[in-house]
Structure 1
Amino acid sequence: MVVLAKAELEQIALPAAQPPMADVRAVDLSAAPGPDRAAAARTLVAACEEQGFFRVTGHGVPQELVRAVEAAAAGFFALPQAEKEGATGEPVGYGCKQIGDGGDLGWIEYLLLCLTSAGTVPAASFPFSTLPCAAALLEEYAAAVRRVACGLLELMAEGLGIEPADTISRLVADAESDNMLRVNHYPPAPRPEQQAGRLLTGFGEHTDPQIISVLRSNGTTGLEIAGRDGAWASVPPDADSFFINVGDALQVLTNGRFRSVKHRVVVSSERSRVSMIFLGGPPPGARLAPLPQLLGDGGGRSRYREFTWMEYKSCSHRGRLVDDRLRPFEN
């Protein structure tokens, strides 16, 4: 379980607030070729331009698989702390309260797993002795959501008029793609904090570095997104849809046309929140820069200099969650 000292609790405490509900656009990934698919592509592009965030229906991931993975995750997080802390691999595994290397804390414990391009978990990345039944489920789930991510990126290319259609998706589907699966557990808020009328930071304000994030949770509130004016809005829970974040790398590829959404998780509920996030990143050596097709025939101004994914990832890991990681790469 998550245990924080009093000073640490004070560090992650937030004033009680009730932000408005976010109006989240829905994109139907099952739309057939023709007018319906063209309309879905337009909706997707508009959502990425306005919020950098939307939800996906018609994704084709069986609800039975989703429920089974959520149950397996809950079972893992219910294990004795010593067993969970023994579930560490290279370079990832189990973590608790500390997020990254910049000193950020949260009311959270998590699993972070490396994935192959097929969605499987390399044996070296995580010792599954603590949850042998969950290994196959996690791999099946990761492969399914990777297909969702690639389908969305192809639909996105259609909406932007980019050819070939796999211009962006192949960065996530490559054999060397830096794909990860993060499983977050936010335990119920500690009772003293609830009595004080405060909220806790589960995962602090940040953008995702990767190209795209595919997220779902167990229907518990807590996820919030920031609008262009900086105001926070609460994302309504949805037991059937997947939520999609535009990542920093996609903002670069679209030359800032799509925005990488700032988001956070706050904890105030007596119910545990479990979320699973597929993080689709390019290969380490992939060179990132605005796509020429989006700069116009006249060679429009590029907002970002060219850099490799490994260069960007290394830079982003050194800072705090709230840092603007793209600033050093702007022209």
Structure 2
Amino acid sequence: MEVPLIDCDHRARTDPEVARDIDRALRDVGFMAVHNLGVTPERIREVFDTARRFFQSPEEEKLRCAYAEASENFGYQSLGQESLDPSSPADLKETFTMRNLLSSKVAVERWPDNDFRESVSTFFDDALAAAQRLQRLLALALKVSPEFFVERHNGENISLRLLYYPPVMASEIDPEQMGAGAHTDYGMLTLLFQDAVGGLQVQSETGSWHDVPPRPDAIVINSGDLLERWSNGRYRSTCHRVLPREQGVERYSIALFVDPDSDTRVEVLPSCIPEGAAALYPPVTAGEHVQAKIEATHGA
């Protein structure tokens, strides 16, 4: 099971060509790695530096920015505070989550500092622009208006997340414990920026797990639950996980979760229903789906 590599360079390739490649990747695997989507290497290096400074700071400083509740979905969580697979032991990762970053009303004192906030906000702008380009390409593939998906993602449920997987002793963890437990993502798309340390695995339709080789020069992108519903199962919301860091090397990654606004009614697109067939999924409100998933992983 290989994750396709797609070049989105608009100078060399037309949008219909790129849209066809994206369509094929999400149909076959549900994952792809993308070059030339518009986020510069310099911007990515800067936000990774910001993440490293934060996660390497003293625990008492990090806890000042602690995650309060799933309904807010903002702040720092230490090891063992989230279970992406609620049936398994808690995840061996630290996170800093920022939902609706540019419109957030979170108090100033709950941010690490102003430099942190400026760095992640600038990165968020660039990553969101990249996500919107993907949304327009998917609109082309699915035969809806160019702004169909962009208009339904105004930021209310779009979250930026910094992730840190510290080294752990194999003797100190449960055999079933993961860096990030097996799960599917909740919304439309996820953009994942990785360092050079591996650990991400995707699950095939037969249930076997396959490594996704780290490519710091590419963005790993996967379709989520709501895109699977919009596309009537055409695009897979593929289960994935992150292995614990037992080799003594820490791992960092940064994810942008592109989830629709809460009142968005997600129902199967007409272009995805074969003639004479019925939709495989009933309509669902995006907010209800996303919030239920977040609460399940936090036990609240």
Q: What is the TM-score of this pair, normalised by structure 2? A: 0.88
Specify the code of the residue in structure 2 equivalent to 1:88. A
Q: Which runs of 4+ in 1 moved over 3 A?
A: 100-104, 125-129, 191-194, 317-321
**1: CA distance, partners of 2:276 / 2:97:** 40
Aligned match of 1:164: 145
**Contiguous gaps of at least 5 residues in structure 2:** none
1:287 positional shift: 0.6
Q: Which of 2, 6, 10 is residue 31 of structure 1 equivalent to?
A: 10
Q: Which of 193, 197, 200 is residue 216 of structure 1 equivalent to?
A: 193
1:203 positional shift: 0.4
1:190 paired to 2:179:
no
**2: CA distance, partners of 1:206 / 1:126:** 32
Shift in alpha-carbon separation, 1:126–1:266, aligned structure 2, 3 A: farther
CA displacement, residues 259-312 of structure 1 (integer Å, 9 cap, x when unaligned): 10110000233221111000011111111111123224x463111111211221
1:45 paired to 2:27:
no
Shift in alpha-carbon separation, 1:58–1:109, aligned structure 2, 3 A: same
Aligned match of 1:326: none
Match of 2:217, SS state, is: coil
CA displacement, residues 109-151 of structure 1 (integer Å, 9 cap, x when unaligned): 11011125xxx26241774552321211101111111111111
Shift in alpha-carbon separation, 1:185–1:200, aligned structure 2, 3 A: same
**2: CA distance, partners of 1:27 / 1:301:** 32
Shift in alpha-carbon separation, 1:261–1:125, aligned structure 2, 3 A: farther
For the 8 Å contact 1:95–1:111, the answer to whether it is kept is: yes
1:199 positional shift: 8.7
**2: CA distance, partners of 1:256 / 1:87:** 39
1:315 positional shift: 2.9
1:177 paired to 2:156:
yes
User: Greater CA deviation, 282-291 or 298-307?
Assistant: 298-307
For the 8 Å contact 2:184–2:224, the answer to whether it is kept is: yes
Q: What is the TM-score of this pair, normalised by structure 1? A: 0.80
User: Greater CA deviation, 65-74 or 91-100?
Assistant: 91-100
**2: CA distance, partners of 1:63 / 1:254:** 32
**2: CA distance, partners of 1:257 / 1:149:** 20
**2: CA distance, partners of 1:89 / 1:256:** 34
CA displacement, residues 214-271 of structure 1 (integer Å, 9 cap, x when unaligned): 0011111000001111110001011110000100010000011101011000023322
Q: Which of 122, 137, 142 is residue 155 of structure 1 equivalent to?
A: 137
Shift in alpha-carbon separation, 1:185–1:300, aligned structure 2, 3 A: same
**2: CA distance, partners of 1:57 / 1:126:** 35
Aligned match of 2:97: 112
Match of 1:105, SS state, is: coil
Match of 1:106, SS state, is: coil
**2: CA distance, partners of 1:320 / 1:129:** 23
Match runs of 1:284-303 below 5 Å:
284-296=262-274, 298=275, 300-303=277-280
**Contiguous gaps of at least 5 residues in structure 1:** 1-21, 322-331
For the 8 Å contact 1:88–1:126, the answer to whether it is kept is: no
Match runs of 1:1-331 below 5 Å:
22-32=1-11, 36-88=14-66, 91=72, 92-96=74-78, 97-99=80-82, 102=86, 104-116=89-101, 120=102, 122-124=104-106, 127=109, 129-160=111-142, 162-172=143-153, 174=154, 177-190=156-169, 192=171, 201-267=178-244, 268-296=246-274, 298=275, 300-319=277-296
**1: CA distance, partners of 2:43 / 2:103:** 17
1:192 positional shift: 4.2
**1: CA distance, partners of 2:280 / 2:206:** 21
CA displacement, residues 191-214 of structure 1 (integer Å, 9 cap, x when unaligned): 6459x9x79510000000011000
**2: CA distance, partners of 1:129 / 1:251:** 35
**2: CA distance, partners of 1:109 / 1:141:** 20
**1: CA distance, partners of 2:109 / 2:126:** 22
Specify the code of the residue in structure 2 equivalent to 1:147. A
Specify the code of the residue in structure 2 equivalent to 1:106. D
For the 8 Å contact 1:199–1:266, the answer to whether it is kept is: no
Percent identity of paired positions between Structure 1 and Structure 2? 24
